[in-house]
């Protein structure tokens, strides 16, 4: 049945596409909410639209679920890149600033500066693993790269950031 629906969906049958992706929709939405928060609905719609437009190129090299989640992951990263492309300024509340506040702020600025020296793919990888708590396997799947490459990049990126933060060159 799934193969028939896949063939029909690739011929642009919307009902077949709906049957094909229906088992994954709830989890896919949760995946997106976890990554982008309150803007999830727009990203979810964009991911499904992208899947609909590209179903004809789906070859079955990976499971349909993996393919859908990779599309959703890419859409999440696109959204986050757009969202954080411009710096967000927050007003400081002097009542909440405690001892050591300035030092922590300096460290945060240093980290942001160090992160700006990285390529967008490297920032995306760090975001998936450290901000979203994905495993190496999950990050590899979303970014469509081998697990060994993820491990190697993480090692190199940590070393590079550490060196930059300690006053070395990036």
Q: What is the pLDDT of residues 123-159, one digit of tens each?
A: 878 877 887 677 888 888 877 889 999 999 999 988 8
Residues 100 and 73 in one domain: no
**Shared-domain flag, residues 9 and 51:** yes
Q: Which CATH number characterizes residue 35's domain?
A: 1.10.1740.10
pLDDT value of position 25: 93
Please give the average per-residue pLDDT across 31-49, as a whole number. Answer: 90
For residues 116 and 48, membership in a common domain is answered with no
Last residue of a domain, one of 31, 51, 86: 86
pLDDT for position 101: 47
* Structural domains of the chain, count: 2
Q: Are 50 and 61 in contact (CB under 8 A)?
A: no
Comparison of pLDDT for 57 and 97, the residue scoring more: 57
- Mean pLDDT value across the chain: 81
75 and 25 both lie in a single domain? yes
Residue 85 C-alpha from the chain's centroid: 15
Share of the chain above pLDDT 90, in %: 31
Q: From 34, 67, 86, give the residue that closes a domain.
A: 86
- 106 & 78 share domain: no
Mean pLDDT of 77-87: 75
Tokens, residue 139:
């990050």
Averaged pLDDT for residues 16-43: 90
- Looking at the structure, do residues 113 and 167 belong to the same domain, yes or no? yes
Whether 49 shows a pLDDT value over 60: the answer reads yes
Q: What percent of the chain has pLDDT over 70?
A: 79
- Both 79 and 98 in a single domain? no
CATH of the domain at 114: 1.10.10.10
Q: Which domain holds residue 166?
A: 93-170
Higher-pLDDT residue of 142, 98: 142
Q: What is the DSSP letter of 57?
A: G
Q: How far apart (Å, rounded) are the C-alpha atoms in residues 98 and 117?
A: 30
The verdict on 80 and 101 lying in the same domain is: no
Same-domain status, 78 and 100: no
Residue that is last in its domain, among 86, 101, 117: 86
The answer to whether residue 45 scores a pLDDT higher than 80 is yes
Same domain for 100 and 152: yes
For 36-46, what is the mean pLDDT?
91
Asked if 129 and 136 touch (Cβ cutoff 8 Å), the reply is yes
Mean pLDDT, range 54-63, rounded to an integer: 87
Q: Are 121 and 135 in contact (CB under 8 A)?
A: no
Same domain, 26 and 79: yes
Do 150 and 110 share a domain, yes or no? yes
């Amino acid at each position: 049945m799934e193969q028939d629906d896949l063939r029909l969906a690739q011929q642009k049958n919307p009902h077949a596409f709906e049957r094909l992706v229906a088992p994954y929709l709830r989890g896919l939405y949760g995946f997106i909410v976890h990554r982008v928060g309150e803007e999830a609905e727009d990203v979810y719609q964009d991911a499904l639209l992208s899947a609909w437009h590209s179903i004809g190129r789906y070859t079955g090299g990976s499971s349909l679920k993996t393919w859908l989640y990779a599309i959703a992951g890419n859409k999440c990263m696109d959204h986050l890149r757009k969202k954080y492309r411009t710096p967000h300024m927050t007003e400081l509340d002097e009542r909440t600033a405690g001892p050591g506040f300035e030092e922590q702020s300096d460290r945060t600025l240093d980290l942001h500066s160090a992160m700006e020296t990285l390529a967008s793919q490297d920032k995306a990888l760090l975001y998936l693993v450290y901000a979203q708590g994905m495993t190496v396997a999950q990050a590899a799947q979303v970014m469509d790269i081998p697990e060994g490459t993820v491990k190697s990049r993480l090692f190199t990126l940590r070393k590079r950031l550490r060196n930059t933060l300690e006053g070395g060159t990036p």
